[in-house]
Each structure stands twice: as structure tokens, then as C-alpha cells.
Amino acid sequence: MKKWFAVIGDPIAQSKSPEMHNTWYEQDGLDAAYVPIQVKAEDLEKAVNSFKLLGVSGFNITIPHKTTIIPFLDEIDETAKHMGAVNTVVRLQNGNLKGYNTDGDGFVRSLEEKIGQEHRHQPLLIIGAGGAARGIAYALKKSGYEDITVTNRTISKAEDIIDALGSGKVITSDEVSKSLGQYKILIQATPAGMQYGGEVSLPFSIEQMSKGVIAADIVYNPLMTPFLRHAKAIGGTVVTGVGMFVHQGAIAYEHWLGHYPKTEFMIERITKQLNEA
Ligand code: NAP
């Protein structure tokens, strides 16, 4: 019988997830389909109950439902509980819906695909303290990153992340301006630089990045944000947001279908599309 999957969000038309998952199903010879569905905040509970009734095998959740979906699910995995956000739902054999979060692990896989594991002891700064930053911080800590600092416009949210991690440091935007050069790894986890994100810009200068910096951005449209362009211009290593996007989808795919799909060609394909856009 055909398996059905979906991504829900509002807006949803821009999502690249349907194309990615449908390509994997085709490659793997699966009788499955993945569709984008726009769901308004006030309709979320009804949508989740409908998926349950209709036997949808799994779905992804994007902005703005990642946190608000939690009370409507039957079970929540430990990582997602810790992060307070769900981006993947799996229908279990008994029909229960279980929430997971694959964003943080997707980011770490993408980062380490590029730089390996030898930088885990280096000082690392996460810029931003929203849902994605929280997941990334948790996954980095779990993977053995030892020296994590978080900065955010709203400082209390950065403090919440560090409290939840149980180690690490918080710094203000003013402090970042003076100390940016001390960090070997910089992770940009706000919408700054996003094509359709309005006028968001970082509340400090990025001029002080060190020459050997490893700069990762989780925004992937455009592929090269101003943050990454600067890092590249001074000879740094850059990690675009495409790898995180593909790996978070691949981990969801593995939860649903039991094996990891091919990610390398998918990263190349989406990178090419964005380069040509
Ligand atoms: P979120 O929960 O809304 O958090 C947004 C973060 O950005 C907060 O830290 C917020 O600071 C900060 N921010 C927003 N506007 C700002 C401004 N004008 N100046 C300074 N800081 C600002 O969003 P999210 O879910 O974490 O997502 C963040 C970005 O990551 C989005 O662009 C999203 O598309 C992208 N993303 C990419 C992937 C991927 O697979 N590559 C996955 C998930 C998300 P405050 O706390 O002060 O509001």
C-alpha cells in the first residue's frame, strides 16, 4: 500500500522538502509520496488528528508549528523534549504519533562532513538562541564539543540554552564585537542574510573574524550569506545551510523508512539549484 508523508507549515510553498523526499523514494523504488500542506496555527490540532485518522506514515513540521504541535502528539522523544521543538513525526505501529527533532543532529553531520571531528575542543560561538540554535547547541554538546558560547539579541534566551546544557558561556552583542576573533568555529543561527527574511542583520560587526575561522550558516537561501561571504573572503572555511537541511531530512527519512538515504548527491543538487537561482 502506498505510504503518505507530508510537511506542514505556514507558509509552505517555498519548502524544498517535497522534492527532496520524493526523489529519494523514486531512487529507492518505494511506493510513497510526500506533499506540502499549508496549515494555519488555529487548525494545527485538527490537522494532526486528521493525519492520525488517515494513517499518514509521517510528517515534518516547519515554522511556525515546531513548538505548538507538542501537546497534540502522543509521545515525544528525549532530544525533542529537551529542545522543546519537534520537526519530525513518526506514526508508530500502534498508531501513536511520536515527535522527534532532527535539526541539531542534521547540523552536526553537515559540519563534521566538512571539517571532521578534530575541532571538538576548539572555542565555538553560536549566534542566535531560537529553536534551531537550541537544537544545535544540544547536538554539539552531545557530540563532545567542549567549549560552547551563545550570544543572542535577547540575552535571557541564550542563558536558557546554557542552563539547559549545564556548561558553557553567554556573551552580549557588545562583547562579541570585541572577542569574535577568539572563536575558531562560528555558527550563524538567526535569519540574518535570508533572502525572504526582511531586513535582519546581526547586531555586531563580523569584521573581526579570525583568518582560520570555520563559519557555518544555517540559512541556505541565499547559499552564500553576507556572513559566509566575509568568512570566505578572509580565507576561512565555510559550511552552508544546505547540508543541515539535507541531513535533517535524511534522519527523518531513516526514522520513517529504516535506512539512511543518499545525501551527497542531494547536497550537490540543491546547492546547484540555489547557485543558479
Ligand atoms: P526562531 O526560533 O524564530 O529564532 C530566531 C533567532 O534569530 C532568535 O535567536 C532571534 O533573536 C534571532 N533574530 C531574529 N531577528 C533578529 C534580528 N533582527 N537581529 C538579531 N537577531 C535576530 O527561528 P529558528 O527556527 O531558530 O530559525 C532560524 C533560522 O534558521 C531561520 O532563518 C530558518 O529558516 C533557519 N533554519 C534552517 C534550517 C536548515 O535546515 N538549514 C533548519 C532550521 C532553521 P531573539 O531571541 O532576540 O528574537
Check which CATH number belongs to the domain holding 35 and give it: 3.40.50.10860
Clarify whether residues 110 and 233 are in a common domain.
yes
Cβ-count burial of 211 within 10 angstroms (0-12 exposed, 13-18 middle, 19+ buried)? exposed
Q: Is the CB of 188 under 6 A from ligand 1?
A: no
What are φ and ψ of residue 59, in 5° steps? Answer: -155, 155
How much distance in Å is there from the Cα of 128 to the middle of ligand 1?
Answer: 6
Give, using CA atoms, the residue closest to atom 23 of ligand 1. Answer: 130
How much distance in Å is there from the Cα of 131 to the middle of ligand 1?
Answer: 7
- 81 labelled catalytic: no
Clarify whether residues 123 and 48 are in a common domain.
no
Q: Is the CB of 129 under 6 A from ligand 1?
A: yes
Give, using CA atoms, the residue closest to atom 21 of ligand 1. Answer: 153
**Lookup: cell for 62:** 516547519
pLDDT tens figures, 29-62: 999 999 999 999 999 999 999 999 999 999 999 9
Clarify whether residues 147 and 249 are in a common domain.
no
Nearest CA-CA partner of 169 in 142, 150, 185: 150
How far is Cα 183 from Cα 120, in angstroms, rounded to an integer?
12
Cβ-count burial of 60 within 10 angstroms (0-12 exposed, 13-18 middle, 19+ buried)? buried
Tell me the residue type at 198.
G
Clarify whether residues 171 and 259 are in a common domain.
no
Cβ-count burial of 101 within 10 angstroms (0-12 exposed, 13-18 middle, 19+ buried)? buried
pLDDT of residue 198: 55
pLDDT tens figures, 101-142: 999 999 999 999 999 999 999 999 999 998 899 999 999 999
Clarify whether residues 205 and 130 are in a common domain.
yes
Q: Is the CB of 152 under 6 A from ligand 1?
A: yes
Of these residues, 66, 141, 142, 184, which one is catalytic?
Answer: 66
Clarify whether residues 52 and 39 are in a common domain.
yes
Clarify whether residues 210 and 153 are in a common domain.
yes
Identify the domain containing residue 19 by its residue range. 3-102+243-276
Give, using CA atoms, the residue closest to atom 46 of ligand 1. Answer: 154
pLDDT tens figures, 61-87: 998 999 999 999 999 999 899 888 999
Q: Is the CB of 239 under 6 A from ligand 1?
A: no
Clarify whether residues 155 and 257 are in a common domain.
no
Q: Is the CB of 161 under 6 A from ligand 1?
A: no
pLDDT of residue 268: 97
Clarify whether residues 60 and 172 are in a common domain.
no
Q: Is the CB of 20 under 6 A from ligand 1?
A: no
Check which CATH number belongs to the domain holding 135 and give it: 3.40.50.720
**How many domains are contained in the chain?**
2
With bands split at pLDDT 50, 70 and 90, how would you rate the model's confidence at 197? low
Clarify whether residues 115 and 218 are in a common domain.
yes
How much distance in Å is there from the Cα of 180 to the middle of ligand 1?
Answer: 20
How much distance in Å is there from the Cα of 129 to the middle of ligand 1?
Answer: 7
How far is Cα 189 from Cα 216, in angstroms, rounded to an integer?
9
Clarify whether residues 111 and 229 are in a common domain.
yes
Clarify whether residues 213 and 149 are in a common domain.
yes
How far is Cα 192 from Cα 199, in angstroms, rounded to an integer?
8
**Cβ proximity of 105 and 132 under 8 Å:** no
pLDDT tens figures, 19-29: 999 999 999 99
How much distance in Å is there from the Cα of 265 to the middle of ligand 1?
Answer: 27
